Structure 1
Amino acid sequence: MRPLLPLLLLSSAAIAQAAPAEALKPMAFLAGHCWKGEFPDGKQTDEHCFQWALDGHALRDVHTVRTPGKPDYVGETLYYYDSAAKIVAYLYVENGGGFSHGTMKPSANGLEFPEAKYINGAMVLPYRGQWTITTDSYEAFSEMYVKD
C-alpha cells in the first residue's frame, strides 16, 4: 500500500444534531460540523459535512473535493450499525458513478477504516484509511494499491 492523502480537516459551520446510536458514538465529534482541509500539494481542498440521519441511526457525510478550473468531485457516505456483523459499516456513492462499502472501527487515536474496495465500472481500487483525532481537528490518511 502507498500513501495517498494525508489531510488535516478543521471544524467550521454547525449543522443540527440528533442523539447517535451507541455504536456510532465514536463518530459523534464529527456530527453537526463541516471539516475542510487542503491536499498536501495545496492545489485542492477537501470538505466533509456530517449530520445525523434517521433519528441518529446513521451519520451522513457529504464530501466535496474542489479543484480550480474543474467540476467538483462530490460523494456521500452513510455510516450505520450493521447488527448482523456487529460493526459500523458504510456505503459511499460519488458523482462519477463509483461506490464503495466498508467498515469503521474505533482505534486508540481515532477511527480506522480497514481495507475496502472502490469500484467504478471495471476499475476496482483497494484502499484503507485512518483518521487521527486531535483537540479541534482530525487528520485523514488514506492508502490505495497502485500497480501491484
Structure 2
Amino acid sequence: MRPLFMLLLLSSAAVQAAPAEALKPMAFLAGHCWKGEFPDGKQTDEHCFSWILNGHALRDVHTVRTPGKPDYVGETIYHYDAAAKVVSYLYVENDGGFSRGTMKPTATGLEFPEAQYINGSMVLPYRVQWTVNANSYEAFSEMYVKDKWITQFKMVLKKQ
C-alpha cells in the first residue's frame, strides 16, 4: 500500500509542476476558464487553460458559441522556444485554419505580435493585446486589411 501511496503522491506533484520560467507571465490563466461576450451580444467566447507536459506548455481550449450554430473550437499550445528565446504558440481550429506566433509579457498584460491566420488560400495578418486585471482580461484584436490595421473586436473575458 505504501508504494502505491508514494506513486500517487509523485504523480500528483508532476501534475502540479511549476511552469517553465518564460511561461510564468501566463500562470494566472492556468486552471481557469475565462468567458466573454462579443460586442454584438450574439456570441460568447470561452478560453480554458491548463498546464500540460509538466508545466513546459500551456494549453488553451477556445470555444465560440453562437445560438443555433455549431461551436467554433480551437486549441492553442504555448511553449518556450529556447532556440529563438521566445514563447511561441500553435493555434489550430475545427474549420482547418491555424496560426503560429509569439507572446511577450508587457507592463499591463500580454502581447501577441503580428502573426498570420491561414485557412486554405486565405491569409489574414492579425495582432492581439491582452490587458490583465484581477479577475479578467481585455482582449483587443486587430487585423490587417487593405493596407491598414482595423479593430476585429475588443472584449472583456472574466474568470469563471
Scaled to the shorter chain, the TM-score interval is: 0.7 to 0.9
* Map of 2:68 onto structure 1: 69
Are 1:17 and 1:51, in contact at CA under 8 Å, matched by a contact in 2? no
CA contact (8 A) 2:16 2:54 kept: no
* Residues 128 and 17 of structure 1: CA distance in aligned 2, closer, same or farther (over 3 Å): farther
**Which runs of 5 or more structure 1 residues have no equivalent in the other structure?**
1-15
What is the distance in 1 between the residues matched to 2:117 and 2:106?
23
Q: Percent identity?
A: 85
Aligned partner of 1:126: which letter? Answer: P
Q: Look up the equivalent residue of 1:31 and give its one-letter code.
A: A
What CA RMSD, in Å, does the superposition of the two structures yield over aligned residues? 1.0
Partner of 1:129: 128
Report how many aligned residue pairs link the two structures: 133
Report which of the two has the higher share of strand.
1
Deviations 1:78-136 (A, max 9, x none): 00000000000000000000000000000010000000000001000000000000111
Q: Over alpha carbons, which structure has the higher Rg?
A: 2
The runs of 4+ residues in structure 1 deviating greater than 6 Å are none
The answer to whether 1:34 aligns with 2:33 is yes
Please give the TM-score of this superposition, normalised by the length of structure 1.
0.87
Structure 2 regions of 5+ residues with no counterpart? Answer: 1-14, 148-160
Mapped to 2, the partners of 1:103 and 1:90 lie a distance apart of: 6
SS of 1:19 mapped into structure 2: coil
Instruction: Tell me by how many angstroms 1:17 deviates.
Output: 4.8
If asked which structure has higher relative contact order (CA below 8 Å, sep 6+), I would say 1
